[in-house]
Structure 1
Amino acid sequence: MSTDTSQTPPEQLLYSTMLFYGCWGSLALMAVTYALYVLGVLTPHVPLEVVTTLWSQPVRVYLEQGNVPTGWGWAVLIGKGDFINFAGIVLLAGMTILCYVPLIGAYMKKKEPIFATIAVLEILVLLFAASGVVGSGGH
């Protein structure tokens, strides 16, 4: 008979549960926003006819002719059919950051300030990387 007394800490369960449902929710959001785009419910920023003519062109040409911003500039176009799907992508990419937030309080409650500090630092590093400040992300 095995007597395994180890248990998964509640903060790890919270993290994994948030990540599980957040990822599936993000994928569902992407499916819904894609449907809004292809069904024409929301007007796209770059008309589909223009997109198809630019498929074989370099990205630079698409950005110029479609008047598409780079970096986080897409955020101002979030209400457009061809950019609303970014909401699900951003949520999916940001789930790790969101999952770290409740860990800070959980670790402070357990009187583990080093782990709480690591969670804060992880959030800051991920936000900094996504900001595009260093030119490696944020697109």
Structure 2
Amino acid sequence: MAMNRGPDRSASDPDDRRLPELSAPERLIASFIRLFGLTAIGLVALTFVASLIPGLPTRIPVREVPRYWHMSAAQYVQSTHMRTGWGWIAGIGDVDVLNLASLALLGSTLIFCFLAASIAYLRERDYHYAIFCAADAVILLIAASGLL
């Protein structure tokens, strides 16, 4: 006795909606998002778990973290003596600062994607998209740098 698994849909069925084929730059963007996104999410999870292990160096003990949740960034920096700008990199040996670095990598995923896409579009001589992607990357870099 054959099981009924729903209506038989052939390839010519109008209800069979398939995604269009992706161009080479679109595949590259998807690959970068997957690679950098999954890597960054994995690092965020790994560094979070590491921050729960007693004895590893942290700038702020895990038990004290809720005390800072209500603070603005300026209040947090003042209370914890956290370095601002690129100065936080000096504390990369602390697990909580390493967690911050993994979050920065996650946030910069789109910058890498736009740069890669710009190069891919240049190879295909699609200059409008190449310029658009490069401009997006520059805007995100300026925003992340805190220059403006």
Q: Which runs of 5+ in 1 are unaligned?
A: 135-139
In the alignment, is residue 11 of structure 1 matched against residue 25 of structure 2? yes
- Between the aligned partners of 1:87 and 1:9, the Cα distance in structure 2 is 32
Which one of 41, 45, 52 corresponds to residue 59 of structure 2?
Answer: 45
Alignment check: 8 A CA contact 2:51 2:62 kept: no
Read off the aligned partner of 1:123 and give its amino acid letter: A
Aligned positions, number: 132
Which one of 100, 120, 124 corresponds to residue 134 of structure 2?
Answer: 120
Which one of 32, 46, 52 corresponds to residue 46 of structure 2?
Answer: 32
Structure 1 residues 64 and 111: CA distance shift in structure 2, 3 A? closer
Partner of 2:99: 85
Structure 1 residues 106 and 31: CA distance shift in structure 2, 3 A? same
Partner of 1:137: none
Query: 1:128 deviation in Å?
Result: 0.5
List, as ranges, runs of 4+ consecutive aligned residues in structure 1 with deviation greater than 6 Å.
none
Query: 1:27 deviation in Å?
Result: 1.1
Relative to the length of structure 1, the TM-score reads 0.78
Partner of 1:103: 117
Relative to the length of structure 2, the TM-score reads 0.74
* Fraction of identical pairs, as percent: 23
- Aligned alpha-carbon RMSD (Å): 2.7
Structure 1 residues 96 and 7: CA distance shift in structure 2, 3 A? same
Q: Which moved more, 1:51-60 or 1:34-43?
A: 51-60
Who wins on radius of gyration, i.e. which is larger?
A: 2
Q: Which runs of 5+ in 2 are unaligned?
A: 1-11
Partner of 2:78: 64
